Structure 1
């Protein structure tokens, strides 16, 4: 498995595809990340066409176990960010 693309590499690729400079591409990426963060943390969801859907899901209170000690304790309800991958992306990876 290859290393994941870094933000610097992503900004460079985005600037190249947009035909603009890295500063503009970095600002666009930061704005997109900000919008996604704001929407998902507010309980909404964001669909990125061809990529997938990012959303927040609530998990109920539950019993968990500390693997080091074996002790069981109750974990409060919390929220977790999930992503459902679009079929188009799955198909492109598996083709």
Structure 2
């Protein structure tokens, strides 16, 4: 059985709120969010335009879920630092580095 490559991503909405998610295809998932349809995350509906601020490889599905949960718990300042590249997943959680 092959394992898919998962990615985490951060999207900023028109209210400057940051949304974190995981996917196997960042471009497809971002397009689904932008479409504002049934596959759009509820917290993003009606809050466009959306900007894909950051995405990176997360390893397998299990690792991606762990990263998503931890990133969602970060403060806004830490998320912005992650986006800016001044901190990395490796620095925050070396055990979750894909």
TM-score, normalised to structure 1, is 0.24
TM-score, normalised to structure 2, is 0.24
Relative contact order: is structure 1 or structure 2 higher (C-alpha 8 Å, sep ≥ 6)?
2
Rg comparison, structure with higher value: 1
Q: Which has the higher strand share?
A: 1
